[in-house]
Structure 1
Amino acid sequence: MVQDFEDFLPRLAEKLGAEGLMSELCNGFRMLMDPTTMLITCDSLKRNAAALGLTGMSDEEAAAMVRVGDLDGDGALNQMEFCVLMVRLSPGLMERSWSFLQESLSSRSDQFQK
């Protein structure tokens, strides 16, 4: 059975900013992905979820988690789908998503002006 977890993404976003949060989400994706396909599959999710404190995940639970984020219907999560899913699953982060987007765009705009 999947254990309940506390939503740390809003605090992580506050601490790291938009760019840092995206970097951490990408690190999380790499932890869960299958190194051969470079995707999160049901099998790779079950195999690697223990690193995130999710133990005892059933096949059905893993399939449901992948299905929720699978935007292109290929049965797996690519990095973009994973990041979108993580933001969608964080109520606190969803409330602040526009400010993080503006921060990220402003940061990129500043980089181009230099």
Structure 2
Amino acid sequence: MAAQNPQTHFEDYLPLMANKLGGDSLIDELCNAFNLLMDSEKGVITFYSLKRNSTLLGLQGLSDEDLHSMLREGDFDGDGALNQMEFCVLMFRLSPELMEGSKLWFEEALEQELKNSF
């Protein structure tokens, strides 16, 4: 069975989730996804926790090399694992359409924060 392309998978569904949920709820859902995938003892997503929990995201067809590639793609500090921020940034990077929409959410959140502070 050929491995799925994770970039295509998230490009297909993450913008739909964002439109349905809105910015704050999307971030909450990304945090929930991180918590499902992370190694509970280490508090990060490791290769083994990703492999063990990949079926939760429909990624069970990915090879070990694909999983390692996903980790390398998002691992900015080079520790071989994804912390919560790295995971969220990776999810946004895998979805260019979502990146475009995130500017609008940021502006809306900033506007709302300014309204709340007066």
Q: TM-score, normalised on structure 1? A: 0.88
Do the aligned partners of 1:18 and 1:103 also contact (CA within 8 Å) in 2?
Answer: no
Unaligned runs of 5+ in 2: none
Query: 1:39 matched to which residue of 2?
Result: 44
Query: 1:2 matched to which residue of 2?
Result: 3
Partner AA of 1:64 in structure 2: S
Do the aligned partners of 1:45 and 1:62 also contact (CA within 8 Å) in 2?
Answer: yes
Q: CA deviation at 1:107?
A: 3.2
Q: 1:11 aligns with which of 12, 16, 33?
A: 16
Partner AA of 1:86 in structure 2: M
Q: CA deviation at 1:59?
A: 2.2
Do the aligned partners of 1:10 and 1:92 also contact (CA within 8 Å) in 2?
Answer: yes
Q: 1:25 aligns with which of 21, 27, 30?
A: 30
- Aligned equivalents of 2:113, 2:25: Cα separation in 1: 13
3-state SS in 1 of match to 2:25: helix
How many corresponding residue pairs? 113
Query: 2:87 matched to which residue of 1?
Result: 82
3-state SS in 1 of match to 2:91: helix
- Aligned equivalents of 2:115, 2:31: Cα separation in 1: 23
- Aligned equivalents of 2:114, 2:3: Cα separation in 1: 41
Identity %: 54
3-state SS in 1 of match to 2:42: coil
Unaligned runs of 5+ in 1: none
Query: 1:94 matched to which residue of 2?
Result: 99
Q: CA deviation at 1:2?
A: 3.1
Q: CA deviation at 1:95?
A: 1.9
